[in-house]
Amino acid sequence: MSTQSQKTNQTSSIYAIYKQNVQKYFESITKNTPQYFQASTHFQEECMKAAEKSFDAAISMQQEFAQKSGMITEIPDAAKTVIVDSNKQIVQAGSIQNQIVKTAMDATTQNIKAFNDNVSAFTDLNKNIIQSWISTFTPTRN
Residue ranges of the domains in the chain? Answer: 1-73, 75-142
Q: Under DSSP, is residue 88 helix (H, G, I), strand (E, B) or coil?
A: helix
pTM of the full structure: 0.61
Instruction: Give the pLDDT band (50/70/90) at residue 2.
Output: very low
Q: Check residue 142 and report its DSSP letter.
A: -
pLDDT on residue 101: 97
* Averaged pLDDT for residues 66-76: 95
pLDDT on residue 12: 63
pLDDT on residue 136: 80
Contacts of 73 (CB under 8 A, 6+ apart): 63, 66, 67
Q: Under DSSP, is residue 139 helix (H, G, I), strand (E, B) or coil?
A: coil
CA–CA dist 68, 112 (Å, integer): 60
pLDDT at 13 over 90: no
CA–CA dist 20, 9 (Å, integer): 16
* Averaged pLDDT for residues 57-61: 97
Instruction: Give the pLDDT band (50/70/90) at residue 45.
Output: very high
